[in-house]
Structure 1
Amino acid sequence: MRLGNAYAYCKPSQNVGLKLDLLRGLPGYVGHATSRINRLENQDNYSVKMMRSWPNAYGSALNCSVFDGHGKKGAQLSQLLANKLCSSLDCREPSWGKQDLMRLVQEYARRFPEGNYWKHKLATFDRFYDKFIKNCNSKQELLLMKEGDTTILGQNGGRMIFDKMGNIIDKIALLTELDRLRLFYGFAKFDLDQCCDLGTAAGSTASSIFLYPYDDPSMPTDGGKDDDSWIISHSGLLKLIVTQVGDSKIILCDQDGIAHALTTTHHTNSSRERRRLSLDPSRLDPDAFGETRFLNNFANTRSFGDVAGKPYGISSEPDIFSFLIGNTLHLPRSERSKLPFNGDECFLALVTDGITNMLTDQEVVDLITSTVNSWGLRKATPQFVAEETIQFIQAIASKHSDNATCLVIRLSNWGNWPNVDRTGLQRETKLMNAQSNETKLN
């Protein structure tokens, strides 16, 4: 199956369900829905794209992203990101390197001289580059994998995966230095060149996945580098790259129906973020809603835009996570446990905080799986369950509830989770409480 060169979709600003014909033909593989809920404007945006030139060695990659805008021009900024951010990464082998990133940090320091954040990053640039880009020894991958399997960890935190003959396929991190440099540089360059021009009245989170076939010799290939049939067939292992700026979440459902958060939120309650920003917790006071804000204004410690916070560390530097997931048909049974989630995962969900402020990760997963269990696989496609998720949020929302966006990406084990709803009672209670509150108001 060839999907062509124009498989892409970005949500329009008017919150209208515009779709390209090719995306209409894939509701069983990628679902998407959004709503302003009870806000005057929907500042959420999202995009679904096929990337043709990155990662260059593997042909096409499916890119899905959610963006949660804030501020007077938040919708404009999140739309800009949906239209252009990941497309700006989709280029042939870049010619820039470490010195280009250093010059970009110098430009940040020149443009935002008020705080010490960029001056400090420039002064410690070599150490920063070696740790987070060259060697990728931040251990972020390890923090999100199963604990206790240190014997199968590779040299730089990657998992050791073996072919049928016992030969090591991949013993290092799944991303190369160039891959990580492309993401760091690309995000920071886009933020400085395009997002900061919108002024102080715009900011946005950005959470993305890049999904593409693993270069596995046991995986059958049918059509060459431009063949996108892997989206449909799921015939082998896949590389999943996750980037995170802000607090929109990416959740994976494993073969047992268990939710796994693939991202960590960038808030002041994170000790890692407090260290990065040199924050003293005793000096952080909660606002009227009980949420601690950075510089008495920002809910997130990383974002695109938010120019007023740029001198003090409100940056678009992404957390980068890499995982090996997918169909384990061609993997020896003895090696499946060495995958981070044991393989044969069911789906991915990308959701903004309008959903995660009201539902736990497991509740999001159980809402999707129980919907499929109730309606059946023919009816309950990823498109159907994404829409049902938004409708549930609308049903339990209060008058202050935020915009909500949900993307659902089908994986190899879709529909084969256990027929168990672990959080059904909690969701039912939330629905009954919302109905009770509405009755009292009327």
Structure 2
Amino acid sequence: MISKRKKMLLAKNVNLNKIISKRYITTGIPFDNNAKTTDNYNNDTINNDNNTPSTNNDSGSFASKYIHWTPSNITSGMLRLDLYKIPSYIGHCSSRINRLYNEDRYSFSLLKYASNYKRAVTNTKNSPTFLNINIFDGHGGSNVSTWLSKHLHEKLVQTIPNKKTFYSILKQYCLKYPHSDYWLNIYENREAYYKRFIRTCSTKKEDVLYNGSRMIFDKFGNIIDKTSLLSDLDRLRIFQTYLEVDLKDCIVYENCGSTASSIFLTPYAEYEQYTKPSSLDDNNSSNNNNNNNNVDDFNNDFLLTSQSLMKLCVVQVGDCKVILCDKHGVAHSLTQIHHANSPRETARLNSSKLSITDSFGETRFLDMFANTRSFGDSKGKEMGLSCEPDIYSYLIGNTSKLPHQEKSKLQFGGDECFICMVTDGVTDLMDDQEIIDLITSTVNMRGLKKATPQLVCEEVIKYISAISGKDADNATCLVYRLSNWGNWPVIDRTGALREEKLLNTNQAELRE
């Protein structure tokens, strides 16, 4: 039966989808891309019109905010799901806390692009599909963080990695900053730079993959090579995109910038995602041939119901954190932050004389920047404040297809529970294990049905709001559920510490 109100609207040719979208408000991106979202905790308004439904280009690469899922209890057909509206699998919450504006942003998307030199770059039909989650912490305004949340994932799929193009970008930095020894040194030693950071990617976290046995064998005897999770094409795409985006689109902002942390997740066995969706029958075959590079041709069940190992790539610029919860409920930081007091960053910038400690004990680069890597912030570019990313790769996920003796070769033991991404507004007040324990204890107390990733994100932000001071920074929390969600031990390692912080905050408020 059609209601009277619906009949009236249909008679007036009113778009019902617009009415529905206005009623649907979440803590993150609303259904209507042109709408605005009201923060649940501070009544501040955030522009979140940052994702068009999909982006395609001539190369066949693709970016979309939708996935296609076939539940096990459905024999035919397929669900089209918005990545921003899957609270049982992806949670997101952001708040300005005690600041006037919220400069944090984030984005979710499904990407498809060639990741192997043996594949033609112009044909990505058989290329893997990646789940991409980004978190951005803006400073000096939200211009850069907003632009990145709208366009960075699009630029990644549009980029065609090329060594000559990459060197050309480095040369443009030298021309842009002719008095910069930092960029001149990189360009003059570009071959060594390429070999160190792109061909071999010798970051410390990446080196961990080489410790112990290199090879893992599944129960069928197939070899899994831990050291081949990323090709140099993958790394070159990221470096080339980040440096080009910063040079052409972000450097125009002198006093505004943003950090960025990203994850890219795809099955290790890529054939899992090449299953043709059951809803596509022979009648649609002509359609599919004409649009064979569309992400709709892929069944993305692996994002929600993966029963195999996953390749996780983490890209870091700045001080947002990416934290992994293993099957024992232990927190593992997947990144290293880029602060002026970091010995590694001091060596990179030769900045012992350029870093100054302020009256609060915080070390700042050029007496202005808390981070030594960011997008934008053109005033610091000449001295080396760049957006060169750190790239880490890990092998995580379901170990049901691995023999027991092979599980110990995985870096975190396999069967990890979830990935959490937070801005420094959270990590300034909580350490990694506290964040993980707050999430796991919330699920333990409320149960798996109620305590979704969306709910636990909101709980983290509520806790930060409760213990934050008058000058506390914006806080954002994202949680992506892995296959072992909820199967951690019932242990709260930091419960007493979190309670003490709450009590101290309440006592301080009473004294005031």
TM-based fold match above 0.5 = yes
- The answer as to 2:441 corresponding to 1:370 is yes
Alignment map for 1:230-309 (pairs within 5 Å): 230-280=302-352, 284-309=355-380
Q: CA deviation at 1:231?
A: 1.4
Q: Distance in 2 between matches of 1:265 and 1:110?
A: 29
Whether the 8 Å CA contact 1:220–1:235 is kept in 2: the answer is: no
Q: CA deviation at 1:220?
A: 8.8
Return the structure number with greater relative CO, CA threshold 8 A, min gap 6. 1
Q: Amino acid of the residue matched to residue 266 of structure 2?
A: Y
Q: Distance in 1 between matches of 2:459 and 2:90?
A: 14
Q: Distance in 1 between matches of 2:477 and 2:258?
A: 16
Q: CA deviation at 1:376?
A: 0.5
Q: What is the CA deviation profile of residues 191-211 of structure 1, one whole-angstrom value per residue up to 9, with x for unaligned ones?
A: 1111112x2121100000011
CA 1:432 to 1:167, structure 2 compared with 1: closer, same or farther past 3 Å?
A: same
Whether the 8 Å CA contact 1:284–1:293 is kept in 2: the answer is: yes
- The answer as to 2:129 corresponding to 1:60 is yes
RMSD: 2.2
Q: Distance in 2 between matches of 1:254 and 1:111?
A: 45
Query: What does residue 25 of structure 2 align with?
Result: none
- The answer as to 2:213 corresponding to 1:129 is no
Match of 1:416 among 479, 484, 487: 487
Match of 2:143 among 71, 76, 81: 76
Match of 2:152 among 66, 85, 94: 85
CA 1:353 to 1:138, structure 2 compared with 1: closer, same or farther past 3 Å?
A: closer
Q: Distance in 1 between matches of 2:83 and 2:270?
A: 28
Q: CA deviation at 1:275?
A: 1.1
- The answer as to 2:181 corresponding to 1:150 is no
Q: CA deviation at 1:223?
A: 3.5
Alignment map for 1:117-266 (pairs within 5 Å): 117-143=182-208, 150-153=211-214, 160-197=215-252, 199-215=253-269, 222-223=275-276, 226-266=298-338
Q: What is the SS of the residue equivalent to 1:121?
A: helix
Q: What is the CA deviation profile of residues 105-139 of structure 1, one whole-angstrom value per residue up to 9, with x for unaligned ones?
A: 00001001232110010111111101111122344
Q: CA deviation at 1:41?
A: 0.6
Whether the 8 Å CA contact 2:112–2:127 is kept in 1: the answer is: no
CA 1:386 to 1:180, structure 2 compared with 1: closer, same or farther past 3 Å?
A: same
CA 1:385 to 1:70, structure 2 compared with 1: closer, same or farther past 3 Å?
A: same
CA 1:139 to 1:357, structure 2 compared with 1: closer, same or farther past 3 Å?
A: closer
Alignment map for 1:96-135 (pairs within 5 Å): 96-135=161-200
Q: CA deviation at 1:221?
A: 6.5
Q: What is the count of residue pairs matched by the alignment?
A: 416
> TM-score, normalization: structure 1?
0.89
Question: In terms of mean alpha carbon deviation, does 51-60 or 304-313 score higher?
Answer: 51-60
Q: Amino acid of the residue matched to residue 108 of structure 2?
A: V
Q: Distance in 1 between matches of 2:160 and 2:471?
A: 47
- The answer as to 2:438 corresponding to 1:342 is no
Query: What does residue 325 of structure 1 align with?
Result: 396
Q: Distance in 2 between matches of 1:253 and 1:138?
A: 22
CA 1:40 to 1:109, structure 2 compared with 1: closer, same or farther past 3 Å?
A: same
> TM-score, normalization: structure 2?
0.77
Q: What is the CA deviation profile of residues 356-411 of structure 1, one whole-angstrom value per residue up to 9, with x for unaligned ones?
A: 00000000000000000111000000000001110110010100100000000000
Whether the 8 Å CA contact 2:275–2:298 is kept in 1: the answer is: no
Whether the 8 Å CA contact 1:196–1:305 is kept in 2: the answer is: yes
Query: What does residue 71 of structure 2 align with?
Result: none
CA 1:418 to 1:335, structure 2 compared with 1: closer, same or farther past 3 Å?
A: same
Q: Distance in 2 between matches of 1:341 and 1:410?
A: 16
Unaligned runs of 5+ in 2: 1-27, 31-35, 38-44, 52-64, 66-80, 116-123, 278-296
CA 1:385 to 1:302, structure 2 compared with 1: closer, same or farther past 3 Å?
A: same
Q: CA deviation at 1:165?
A: 4.0
Q: CA deviation at 1:17?
A: 8.0
Unaligned runs of 5+ in 1: 1-8, 154-159
